[in-house]
Amino acid sequence: MEKLKFDANGLITAVVQDDAEGEVLMVAWMNAKAIRLTKETGEAHFWSRSREEIWRKGSTSGNVMKVVKLLVDCDQDTILVQVNPSGPACHTGEVSCFFQELRD
Ligand SMILES: [Zn+2]
């Protein structure tokens, strides 16, 4: 935990991946408290930059994410959250937030 490199706002990027499928589901932000709550509860918690509050994934949608493993990258500035999702990751109802191909 001490080794993690949080940004100036105390946040770190969190990439969320389906543990079984390998699919990238979403990207969010975590702070130290979100990481602690995630470890304690086994459910993914994030920091909402828009609402400026801790956010338990699925608290409103019911689509809770059970955390299988937390990995940190080589630079200690990004966390990979491997989960068993209980429903779509995206608020649009898509399985993953990355369902739109970027075109020019
Ligand atoms: Zn989304």
pTM for this entry: 0.93
Q: What are the tens digits of pLDDT across the range 67-96?
A: 999 999 999 999 999 999 999 999 999 999
Cα–Cα distance, 24 to 59 (Å, whole number): 21
- What kind and span of H or E run contains 11? none
Domains along the chain? Answer: 12-85 (3.10.20.810)
Helix (H, G, I), strand (E, B) or coil at 93: coil
- Chain Cα centroid distance, residue 48: 11
Measure 92 CA to ligand 1 centroid, in angstroms.
Answer: 6
Measure 32 CA to ligand 1 centroid, in angstroms.
Answer: 23
Q: What are the tens digits of pLDDT across the range 25-49?
A: 999 999 999 999 999 999 999 999 9
Measure 79 CA to ligand 1 centroid, in angstroms.
Answer: 18
